[in-house]
Structure 1
Amino acid sequence: MNIKDIARLSGVGVSTVSRVVNNHPDVKKETREHVLNIIKEYNYIPNSSARVLKQISTKNIGILIKGIFNPFLSEMVSIISKKIQFEGYTMLLQHTEVEEDDIESTLRFIKERKLQGVICLGGKFNDIQEDTFKHIDVPIILTSINLPVAMNNKQHVSIIDINNEEAAYKAVNYLIEKGHKDISIMICDEKEAASLERYKGYCRALEESNIPFDKENVLKGHYLMEKAYEETIKLLQNKKPTAIFAVSDSMAIGVAKAITDSGLQIGQDISIVGFDGMDIAQYYTPTITTVKQPREEMAKLSADLLFEQLNGNKQSISILLDADLIEGNSCIEI
């Protein structure tokens, strides 16, 4: 889709479309609105610099990461980059901020950088419709992005993830089986998809064990160690749960430091379970029990699937992988 196509569909000249795109005033209101509606309908994203784009290689694979401070996703990039390099392509890495529209960011990334394919690590894609990517003819792999398996075979979109709700449910049940009933949870926020699914697993585990829900036990750490530390300090000033489940290992580290700085012992006074299976959980003292996501497998599958689709060998698919609970020394039976 280019400016000539928009002109043809709009029934106006290329120069008129150009004036609309560049917000020139010398276009009738009705014509401007008509052209803008065509642009929106066909997801047309104007090239910001045609001269620069002509110099860019067309053998580009994009990696779009949600957030700059997500070490779990960052650790997957090196595995994916090796596959991209092996296949003779160039990797273009881009981060998106928390407040950005991930679907729009993906569309713009593909268009402006002339990508042959894109792997999105994290983000929110719940608003994907049947025609969202209808004019995008490149494979899109959504990895570690919580979406229904029913998204399978929609447009060019494939999904690789774990069952976040079930994994969190098992983690909280692990604490319940050790006798814990006053269990706090450190989530990202109410909007982040994976965090929300893990929160649902937490709530389901409490409900099935007839443990009352306490809203004071819900903390928001935004996937940041510092924020998780601050929120845990505030919590411990008012109450002392017997266990805290953090939906990421980075937040679990913040929780752990807050516990020790409050004069309490991890695994004795308060137990901790994290999520992700990052190396930092195993090198902390004491080692932190965590739900291990198969990040190496997820990264490898993402890259392999992308190139299989580029070569026309496989349809879009959805894959849900298992996550395992790795026991550390951060939990005690009470």
Structure 2
Amino acid sequence: MKNLNIKDIAKIAGVGVSTVSRVINNHPDVKDKTRDKVLKIIEEYNYIPNNSARNLKRTDSKNIGVLVKGIFNPFFAKLIQFIEEKIDEEGYSMILHYNDDNANDIEAAVELIKEKKLKGLICLGGDFTSLDESQLVDLDTPIVLSSTDIIEDANRTFFSSVIIENEKAAFDAVEYLCRLGHKKIGIIATGQEDRCVGRLRFEGYKRALLKYGIEYDEGYFEIGEYTFESGFKAMNKLLDKDIDLTAVFITSDIMAIGASKAILSRGLRIPDDISIVGFDGIEYAEYFHPSISTIKQPDEGLGKKSADILFDLIKGKKNHEHIILKTELLERESCKKLI
């Protein structure tokens, strides 16, 4: 028989993973009948808890991990700065790890916790939509997911999160263009196949079009990959279609800057010929010429709140929390009102 994990024991016992965890850790808030049933199954199947993982929290490690998705988005640099300040203040050390775009984020998080014997982990971005709660229970290490997407039916008792409403923020950006009189609005995004924030921003774009009676046209969409180069290439593809765009919503400022470069390199003007709205609120967008209108994410709030929650968990002060922060539309020079 294969080595059973805590999820297998829970399934056999007909209880939740958290209940099995409480039995294993001798927590008092379990009914005697349930406790006896779980212990009997554990004995029957000779289940041995993953002590090497469960004991990570009890080691003398003073390391806090920060797992970052990709290496190209400077938006995360600000978050890391605020997180590192809190880690230093608490007398811990930060271990920073960048995860490849094609790598499995959940596996990378688990591996980093085990390898570095982390006291806690903050994940910036990434895909955690298929997170298995048994992985977190076995690790017994506080995790905060920041600036990513949390699916509605996720068991939120095993992790914390600090996020924004990506769909609403994208809706606000495109609605702004619609109110300016634009109807031929393109989009550069990671697409509907993106299971993280890219998908939500794409949905926000389509919802805004629907509200203003504009039919979604797939020809107005191109895929980008959160880099300057991909924004540049995607914008050139849109321009090659000759579809008389008057505006483009781009789901990251990095891609928006690349797209703006493509527009200007063709002798077109921003915003006279094409209006641009980005997403993130990074400093580069403010100092690009013309300055790019964008959705500003609360970088300080995301960074500081993520770190505060993590240390509250480490100190046992609070249970897991789930915070949603507000975004802000910054109106700059890259958008024009149509007559």
**Cα deviation code 1:202-254 (max 9, x no counterpart):** 01111121101111111111001111101211221222310000100000001
Give the 3 Å change call, closer, same or farther, for CA 42–275 of structure 1 in structure 2: farther
1:154 and 2:152 are equivalent in the alignment? no
Q: 1:169 aligns with which of 165, 168, 171?
A: 171
Secondary structure at the aligned position of 1:63 is classed as: strand
* Aligned match of 1:225: 228
Paired with 1:295 and 1:148, the residues of 2 have a C-alpha distance of 22
Secondary structure at the aligned position of 1:135 is classed as: helix
Paired with 2:211 and 2:199, the residues of 1 have a C-alpha distance of 18
* Aligned match of 1:317: 321
**Cα deviation code 1:255-302 (max 9, x no counterpart):** 110110011000110000000011111111111110000011110001
Give the 3 Å change call, closer, same or farther, for CA 117–330 of structure 1 in structure 2: same
Name structure 2 gaps, 5 residues minimum.
10-45
Paired with 2:330 and 2:266, the residues of 1 have a C-alpha distance of 26
Give the 3 Å change call, closer, same or farther, for CA 86–206 of structure 1 in structure 2: same
> What is the Cα deviation at residue 153 of structure 1?
3.6
Coordinate RMSD, CA, aligned: 2.6
> What fraction of aligned residue pairs are identical, expressed as a percent?
42
* Aligned match of 1:94: 97
* Aligned match of 2:210: 207
Would you say the 8 A contact 1:120–1:142 is kept in 2? yes
* Aligned match of 2:24: none
Letter in 2 for 1:105: A
4+ long deviations beyond 3 Å: 41-46, 148-153
Paired with 2:241 and 2:149, the residues of 1 have a C-alpha distance of 34
* Aligned match of 2:143: 140
Letter in 1 for 2:144: I
> What is the Cα deviation at residue 118 of structure 1?
0.3
Secondary structure at the aligned position of 2:149 is classed as: coil
* Aligned match of 1:278: 282
Give the TM-score, by structure 2 length: 0.81
Q: 2:263 aligns with which of 255, 259, 262?
A: 259
* Aligned match of 1:329: 333
Paired with 1:226 and 1:254, the residues of 2 have a C-alpha distance of 6
Letter in 2 for 1:165: E
* Aligned match of 2:116: 113
Name structure 1 gaps, 5 residues minimum.
10-37, 47-52
**Cα deviation code 1:16-68 (max 9, x no counterpart):** xxxxxxxxxxxxxxxxxxxxxx99x978999xxxxxx9xx9711000000011
Paired with 1:110 and 1:218, the residues of 2 have a C-alpha distance of 39
Give the 3 Å change call, closer, same or farther, for CA 95–163 of structure 1 in structure 2: same
1:58 and 2:61 are equivalent in the alignment? yes
Give the 3 Å change call, closer, same or farther, for CA 153–333 of structure 1 in structure 2: same
Q: How many correspondences in the alignment?
A: 292
Would you say the 8 A contact 2:162–2:324 is kept in 1? yes
Give the 3 Å change call, closer, same or farther, for CA 135–309 of structure 1 in structure 2: same
Letter in 2 for 1:181: K
Paired with 1:100 and 1:251, the residues of 2 have a C-alpha distance of 21
1:67 and 2:70 are equivalent in the alignment? yes
